[in-house]
Every structure is written in C-alpha cells, then in structure tokens.
Amino acid sequence: MKSIAIFCGSNDGALSAYREHAIALGHELANRGITLIYGGASVGLMGAVADAVLEKGGNVIGILPHFLQTREIAHKHLTELIVVDSMHERKAKMAEMSDGFIVLPGGPGTMEEYFEIFTWAQLGLHEKPCGLMNIEHYYDPLVALFDQMANQRFMQQKYREMVIVDTTPEGILDQFAHYKHPSVKTYLTEDRT
C-alpha cells in the first residue's frame, strides 16, 4: 500500500488515549513509508495524525474545501495541501488517491465519510479495505449495530465480513494485507452468502 486515507474527529475527544493512538498510527504509517491522505486540518485527531507522520519524515497530503480553510484551520506544513471546491470533491479525491481507509474515533463527519466509502465498497465502486480503529471500545456500539443489520438481514454476511476492526495500527494494516474484496452487491434475494 502506498497511501492510506484517515477519517477522524476534528476534535480530540474526552480521553487522552484517542490522541495517543492517533499519534501511534501516524508513526506507523511513516515507518512503513505509506503516504497519509486526510482532510487537511490542523485541529483535533486530524492534526495529531498529520503531525505524527510529518514528525517521522513521512508524506502527508491534505484535501480541504476552501470554505473550511479557516474553520478547520488548514495545516500549514503538509507535504501538499489540495484545496477543492466542495465536500463531494474532497471525498472523491481522498477515495481516488488512497489504497485503503482507516477510521479513528470521530463524530458525525467521520461517520459520514466512513459510511460513504463502505457503501461504495459494497457497490463495487472500489475494492479497497476500510478499517475501524476501535480505541477504548469507542466503536463497540457501531460493531453491534453491524451485527444487528446482518442478523436482521439488512446486510449480507459477506458485507458484514468487510467490516475490519482492530485496536492497533499494526493489527489493521495486517488485516489490510490479507483483505479479499467480496463479489459485487446484488439485490437478488437468493444471494445471501
């Protein structure tokens, strides 16, 4: 993998562990020579992961819509900052430039980005892995909801298996290395594998 997009909070969250793990993830990406693609902000976990990659001499590409340049406070020291016109353009570019996606704890914006990329994978629009970094059990309720979706047959089991969850950067990246994309989504009822 050459580049990975990170989706995460523009806030730090309540526990110091969130920031500590964001930093560990940034260091791991830099050590493996993987370019970080992210939202371009200097604040919250977004800023923490970018700073950690840069600190270890890694490459960081930020993609920020111009209307957020002051609100999310654009990071001033990135390898490259790409300024785009809209949120749609930002997400499309992040998706196109990355070989996989890692989700750290975050709020509604993070969830929106995760679900869009996850559902694009279900639709076969890309075949890249998406992993949740489950720091301090933050994503336990979301994992339980995925189980509920599969148990109640709103999600096929093969897509439930696309949900990669781990507590460490190494664990997620190792799962990415073995990732096999399922066959493309069909709405035919007999395909329940």
Q: How far, in Å, CA of 106 to CA of 134, rounded?
A: 11
Q: What dihedral angle (degrees, nearest 10) is formed by the CA atoms of 147, 150, 155, 158?
A: 90
Backbone angles phi, psi at 30, to 5 degrees: -65, -45
Instruction: Report helix angle 108-122 to 87-97, nearest 10.
Output: 50
The contact pattern for ligand AMP, residues 28-57, with x = CB under 6 A and - = no contact, is: -----------x-x----------------
By beta carbon distance, the residue nearest ligand AMP is 109
* Binding piece for ligand AMP, criterion CB under 6 A, among 28-36, 105-113, 141-149, 160-168: 105-113
Task: Decide if residue 5 touches ligand AMP (CB under 6 A).
Answer: no
Beta bridge partners, 3, equal: 35
Nearer to ligand AMP, 116 or 166 (CB): 116
The contact pattern for ligand AMP, residues 119-158, with x = CB under 6 A and - = no contact, is: ----------------------------------------
Binding site for ligand AMP (CB under 6 A): 9-11, 39, 41, 68, 72, 87, 91, 106-110, 112-113
